[in-house]
Amino acid sequence: MAADMPRPKSGVNALWKRLKRNKGAVFGLLLVLLLVCVAVLAPVISPYDPYAQKVANRFKPPSSEHLMGTDELGRDILSRIIWGTRISLLNGLVAVLIAMTLGVSVGLLAGYYPALDNLIMRVADILMALPGILLAIAIVAALGPGLANVMIAVGISSVPPFVRITRASVLSIREHEYIEAARAVGARDSQIVSSHVLPNCVAPILVYSTLRLSTVILSTAILSFLGLGAQPPTPEWGAMVSIARAYLRIAPHTAFFPILAIFITVLAFNFVGDGLRDALDPRLKV
């Protein structure tokens, strides 16, 4: 009889079942997978060298030869956008990893140790009082322009929200009976945090990380647009828009396609983040 009983579904299978009910999330996930494939296969699928200049072909409109046209130096825009996908995704991933590593670590300390809570949260409140992009600009101004410094700056400016989210989760989790039981059997704080507290914080951190990716990618594009990030001739979307703004009247396609790439990427990660939030919401589980 026991062999005939259905096995309980694993957490991943149950999550996927709930996630695929959200058509927007599935669409966003497909877009993200497509972007990842484009970034990985950039050397293979790029029709031209993104740095190759041919001034005689400058400002050519979209055609069968150049599907997205050419820029002010005759470079193929499609090839530069394909390579820019790799740069933008890498920027977003590294910046979010920096923010998540620092923010979750500090948030665990603030939530688990009441003595540190007030000091940490007041510092976080001060940082959150500043608009994230202005804080990132200030950090880049101190470190100097460049992609590496932009990733560090955007990552640091994204730390306070991770601190608040992690702290809120820890404050709820530390009151549960299994935490008291772990303390009663003599478990060290480090063991309790790593084995019981942190695993139960994963869901909100994962959702926010996915949503934050879209904001981080947009922020790095803005900083590159302002001349603080990628420097020419790097094929980064924000830098491409910055250069193209001088030629909007005679060649609007040079700005349109990089803007479209940013829009699609931000939209994709927002769809996935919203879908994960709904799928991980315990009130919606069936």
Q: Which pLDDT does position 10 carry in this prediction?
A: 53
Residues recorded for the chain: 286
Segments in the chain below pLDDT 70: 1-11, 281-286
State pTM to two decimals.
0.88
Distances (CA, A) of 263 to 77, 214, 270: 16, 10, 11
CATH superfamily of domain region 78-284: MetI-like (1.10.3720.10)
What are the residue ranges spanned by the domains of the chain? 78-284
- Of 106, 108, 100, give the one whose Cα is nearest residue 154: 100
In the prediction, which pLDDT does 6 show? 46
- What's the confidence (pLDDT) of residue 235? 93
DSSP three-state, residue 70: strand
pLDDT, tens digit, for every residue of 234-262? 999 999 999 999 999 999 999 999 999 99
CA–CA dist 86, 63 (Å, integer): 24
C-alpha 264/C-alpha 244 separation (Å) is 19
The Cα 234–Cα 237 span in angstroms is: 9
